Amino acid sequence: MRYIGNKENLLDKIYQVMQSKKIQGNSFFDFFAGTTSVGRFFKKLNYQIYSSDLMYFSYVLQKAYLTNNQELNFENLLSDINYQSTTLFASPLNIVVEYLNQIEPVEGFIFQNYTPCGTSELEIPRMYYSDENGKIIDAIRQKIESWKTENLINENEYFILLACLIETVPFYANISGVYAAFQKKWDPRAVKKMILRPVEFVVNNKDNFVYNENSTELLNQVEADIFYLDPPYNQRQYAPNYHLLETIAKYDNPIIKGVGGLRNYQNQKSKFCNAKTAIQELNKIAKEGKFKTLILSYNSEGIMEQESIISTLEQYGKVELVEFEYLRFKSNSNGESSTKKFIHEQLYILQKNA
Ligand SMILES: C[S@@+](CC[C@H](N)C(=O)[O-])C[C@H]1O[C@@H](n2cnc3c(N)ncnc32)[C@H](O)[C@@H]1O
């Protein structure tokens, strides 16, 4: 998924650094889970995973990819809907996704608040989704919820289906990267009819635990060999930038405001978006966290100063800094052009004193 700070393309490099520094363990706490790309990578390597994020849509992905440890058979649902797939040898998930792709569209919360027809009374009607796709999102989201209420799907099946929706909707969003604003002209991909995509499973034989919390509040509960920290780097809060994914995941009819139709995010503000409170939080994690190795991913443009990070971490053990270059593409505000820029990605490694 396109997400600010997604580490998907850096994981091999991060793992190489871990190997070269002989960092090993059996358990791994992904402190700022986001898209779960880090958790999935280390789950495949057979670590027991803990992960958390302030965003509920991230929790949906964590439940689907990290907690869940089996292919699902959707037994109750498939006998209830009695749907004949058009594909030979389709998996149960693929059959359910195919079924969802042919249900009747519905004019629900997403259509009413984030499409031009649904918001035609506004001075600037919202163009996050086409009218058709807004109704498709509503229909699929409502159907998943009603299946859960009627006990036709279990918890794992519920989160897998929600994850399919959360992974699919960004491909049709009329935005230039984040959801704080919509584009004033239709992007060609946003006017294509939305087709729900199945997600892929990652299975290991461990009990993996996931949370939708301020991770610093979990320091008493979670103990892991490796703590991996990938916090926000600047003042930009994640919640307003991904508000629509949050609303599709929660589907809780929130009060929304402004041209972009943002939901309230008072309880989802990160202390890592302010230089002073970020260092205080880092200190608390390094001091109270139950880990052997802490790895902090940061970059040369971050709001915490290098010297402050090192002096904070050094109080609790041996610290090393590894830097590598990373090519980042940055879109301008209307997504029409992008510039390339080399960023110094930094890994601060703390081996905690015994
Ligand atoms: C840089 S992103 C992480 C990206 C992730 N590593 C990935 O590959 O997708 C930072 C994440 O931290 C979350 N966050 C910020 N402060 C948090 C906190 N105190 N506790 C839990 N999550 C937090 C944000 O919601 C955001 O998803």
Q: Is 261 left (phi over 0), alpha (psi -120 to 50) or beta?
A: left
| pLDDT-based confidence at residue 336 (cuts at 50, 70, 90) | very low
Which protein residue has the closest C-alpha to ligand 1 atom 12? Answer: 32
Residue whose pair of structure tokens reads 């699929």 in the numeric block: 140
Q: How far is the CA of 30 from the centre of ligand 1 (A)?
A: 9
* Stretch (H or E) spanning 57: helix 56-62
Q: Where are the domains of the chain?
A: 1-70+209-232+277-354, 104-200+236-269
Contacts of 223 by beta carbon, 8 Å cutoff, 6+ apart: 27, 290, 291
| pLDDT-based confidence at residue 331 (cuts at 50, 70, 90) | low
What percentage of residues in the chain have a pLDDT greater than 70? 96
Say yes or no to pLDDT of 333 above 70: no
Q: What is the mean pLDDT of the chain?
A: 95
Say yes or no to pLDDT of 330 above 50: yes
pLDDT of residue 339: 66
Which protein residue has the closest C-alpha to ligand 1 atom 27? Answer: 34
Which protein residue has the closest C-alpha to ligand 1 atom 7? Answer: 6
Span 336-350, average pLDDT: 79
Burial track 64-100 (b if 16+ CB lie within 10 A, e otherwise): bbbbbeeebebeebbeeeeeebeeeeebbbebbbbbb
Say yes or no to pLDDT of 329 above 70: no
Q: How far is the CA of 230 from the centre of ligand 1 (A)?
A: 6
pLDDT digits (tens, 9 = 90+) for 162-212: 999 999 999 999 999 999 999 999 999 999 999 999 999 889 989 999 999
pLDDT digits (tens, 9 = 90+) for 70-83: 889 999 999 999 89
pLDDT digits (tens, 9 = 90+) for 19-51: 999 999 999 999 999 999 999 999 999 999 999
pLDDT digits (tens, 9 = 90+) for 258-300: 999 999 999 999 999 999 999 999 999 999 999 999 999 998 8
pLDDT of residue 84: 87
Span 234-251, average pLDDT: 97
pLDDT digits (tens, 9 = 90+) for 115-155: 999 999 999 999 999 999 999 999 999 999 999 999 999 99
The answer to whether the CB of 239 falls within 8 A of the CB of 220 is no
Mutation test of ligand 1: which of 11, 15, 32 has the most ligand atoms closer than 8 Å to its C-beta?
Answer: 32
CA 20, chain centre distance (Å): 29
At residue 218, what are phi and psi to the nearest 5 degrees? -100, 5
- DSSP structure class, residue 290: B
pLDDT of residue 89: 86
- Residues with CB under 6 Å of ligand 1 are 3, 5-7, 32, 34-35, 37-38, 52-55, 58, 214-216, 230-232, 238, 270, 272
Say yes or no to pLDDT of 335 above 60: no
Say yes or no to pLDDT of 159 above 70: yes
pLDDT of residue 41: 98
C-alpha distance across the termini of the chain, in Å = 38
User: Can you spell out the DSSP letters for 84-123?
Assistant: --SSTT--HHHHHHHHHTTSPP---HHHHHHSTTTTTTSS
pLDDT digits (tens, 9 = 90+) for 63-112: 999 999 988 999 999 999 989 888 888 999 999 999 999 999 999 999 99
Tokens of 67: 């907690």
Contacts of 294 by beta carbon, 8 Å cutoff, 6+ apart: 226, 227, 229, 285, 286, 313, 348, 349, 350, 352
* Stretch (H or E) spanning 83: none
Question: The CATH number of 1-70+209-232+277-354 is which of 3.30.43.10, 3.40.50.620, 2.60.40.10, 3.40.50.150?
Answer: 3.40.50.150
Q: How far is the CA of 222 from the centre of ligand 1 (A)?
A: 17
Please tell me the least confidently modeled range out of 167-171, 227-231, 302-306, 330-334: 330-334
User: Can you spell out the DSSP letters for 124-167?
Assistant: S---SS-HHHHHHHHHHHHHHHHHHHTTSS-HHHHHHHHHHHHH
Global pTM reads 0.96
The answer to whether the CB of 72 falls within 8 A of the CB of 90 is no
CA-closest candidate to residue 6, choices 352, 350, 345, 349: 345
The residues facing 27 across adjacent strands are 48
Which protein residue has the closest C-alpha to ligand 1 atom 18? Answer: 214
Residue that wins the pLDDT comparison between 317 and 342: 317
